[in-house]
Copies of this chain bind each other. A is one copy, B any other.
Amino acid sequence: MAGQAAATTRVPQEERSRVMRGRLLDATVELLVERGYAGTSTTLVSERAGVSRGAQLHHFPTKQDLVVAAVQHVTEARGAELRRAAQALPRGRGRTRKVLRVLGDHFTSPVFTAALELWVAARTDPQLLAEVQRLEREVGRETHRMTVELLGADESVPGVRELVQATLDLVRGLGLADTITDDRRRRTRILDQWAATLDATLTLTPERA
């Protein structure tokens, strides 16, 4: 009986803890987008999240812990969204164009902006850099894998791997351009043209047919 009581108490505690963590991470991303890395402080985050300083320090002892976890958290959540959106796209003619537009939207979302703040801050902060490089390797590998799948690209064909990488570097460059100017129309034209070029260049696999 005592064990059962402890178990029912523990579950809501774990749930409360999970919710609190989520609120802290969401508040951090919002602040990175609104005020940039330099303008984001742990005090502002706890205020925004409505979480006590003590509870915040328990979950994330330093600003670095908080910002890295926040970017990782939203990247994973958005990655899952991106996958669902892209998997819902119809096969066949025009698919590449739609896949690229979904990727373009992904790289111009607040998640990209928050990640950009983290990358740029990491450049001049060696401790943060090690964490961001680790995160980038994981995210980069997963995004590449998903893009190969979505495009139905056959990487055993010479040059195809590089074209998939180029596609991701292109959308990263478009994401950066979009941070200081509303670039949607230009981006759509560029991605549509790149889709036509990719379709003409990539070897078709059964999945693309």
Interface residue ranges, A against B (CB under 8 Å): 34-39, 113, 116-117, 119-124, 129, 132-133, 136, 159, 162-163, 165-166, 168-177, 179-181, 186, 189-190, 192-194, 196-197, 200-201
Chain B's closest residue to A197 (CB) is: B201
Contacts of A180 in B (CB 8 A): 119, 122-123, 129, 132-133, 136
Contacts of A132 in B (CB 8 A): 180
Report copies per complex. Answer: 2
Do B179 and A176 have beta carbons less than 8 Å apart? Answer: no
A202 to B172, CA, bound (A): 23
Contacts of A175 in B (CB 8 A): 173
Do A189 and B170 have beta carbons less than 8 Å apart? Answer: no
A111 to B50, CA, bound (A): 41
A37 to B139, CA, bound (A): 26
Contacts of A119 in B (CB 8 A): 176, 179-180
Chain B's closest residue to A170 (CB) is: B170
A117 to B116, CA, bound (A): 11
Question: From residue A178, how far is it (CB to closest CB) to chain B in Å?
Answer: 10
Q: List 10 A-B contacts (CB under 8 A).
A: A35-B124, A116-B120, A132-B180, A162-B192, A166-B170, A166-B194, A170-B170, A170-B173, A173-B173, A200-B201
Chain B's closest residue to A189 (CB) is: B162
Contacts of A35 in B (CB 8 A): 124
Contacts of A124 in B (CB 8 A): 34-36, 39
